[in-house]
Amino acid sequence: MVNLILFGPPGSGKGTQAAKLVEKYNLLHISTGDLFRYEMGNDTPLGKEAKSYIEKGELVPDEVTVGMLRNKVEANPDVQGYIFDGFPRTIAQSEALDKLMAEKDTAISALLMLDVPDEEIIKRILERGKTSGRADDLDETIIQNRIDVYKSETSPVFDYYGKQDKAEKVDGVGSIEEIFDRLCASVDKL
Does 37 participate in catalysis according to the annotation? no
Which member of 56, 70, 128, 169 is catalytic?
128
* Binding at 146: pick from Mg ion, ligand C5P, none (beta carbon under 5-8 Å per type): ligand C5P
DSSP the chain: ---EEEE-STTSSHHHHHHHHHHHHT-EEEEHHHHHHHHHHTT-HHHHHHHHHHTTTPPPPHHHHHHHHHHHHHT--SSS-EEEES---SHHHHHHHHHHHHHTT----EEEEEE--HHHHHHHHHHHHHHH--GGGT-HHHHHHHHHHIIIIITHHHHHHHTTT-EEEEE--S-HHHHHHHHHHHHHT-
Least distance from ligand C5P to the Cβ atom of residue 189, Å: 26
Residues 6+ apart with CB under 8 A from 165: none
Least distance from ligand C5P to the Cβ atom of residue 81, Å: 19
Rounded CA-CA distance 109/4 in Å is 6
Does residue 29 bind ligand C5P (CB under 6 A)? no
Does residue 162 bind Mg ion (CB under 5 A)? no
* Binding at 160: pick from Mg ion, ligand C5P, none (beta carbon under 5-8 Å per type): none
Does 128 participate in catalysis according to the annotation? yes
Q: Residue from 7, 9, 12, 15 that binds Mg ion (CB under 5 A)?
A: 15
Count of residues of this chain found to bind ligand C5P when the rule CB under 6 A is applied: 16
* Binding at 54: pick from Mg ion, ligand C5P, none (beta carbon under 5-8 Å per type): ligand C5P
Residues annotated as catalytic are 14, 89, 128, 134, 146
User: Residue numbers of the site for ligand C5P (CB under 6 A)?
Assistant: 10, 32-33, 36, 53-54, 57-60, 65, 86-87, 89, 136, 146
User: Residue numbers of the site for Mg ion (CB under 5 A)?
Assistant: 15, 33
